[in-house]
A and B are shown apart, each in its own frame.
Chain A
């Protein structure tokens, strides 16, 4: 069974940093592109970033370019999202997802990030 489990969310002050993790199991992690998507409370889904299989090609949404960094450790079957210079508007549930032809076929349960003083 495919499982994606996000962790690392929590309360952080504006300007702070947080690193999210996404532990994958049930599939060959190293052969799939992976994505991060977020959803602010009561709002819609927003795509953030994706990373190719060996971690050499990363693409970001304009809203997080230069502040967020996606990475992966294929030996640990884990995807990461390093979030720096956090703002109140980054408050959201963050999901990782496995891609199939750039469509998000499996999603984790999400982890909540709250940016507030």
Chain B
């Protein structure tokens, strides 16, 4: 999978928006952009994913640059429960007989701290 670059850490204040950047300059045309987050002492949790168009769901929004070389995860109103490590991952589905391998390659992610 192509690599991504994220800041090691970011800070936010409670109830303010948070913009988490991700650079992926070597993205290929078939790579989807996925975001997962990992709260302390838990397994990673799916947040959102997209290909070309911006995406919204109940957790967050994903803004994808027109050239797809970068993207931004937007938390509209950060809460203390949003404090976590956020991973931006590019995934190209490898299809094999009987199913598709949605293997994720994680980097170190961005540690988000939310101040009360």
Q: Do A and B bind each other?
A: no
- B-side residues, CB < 8 A to A, are none
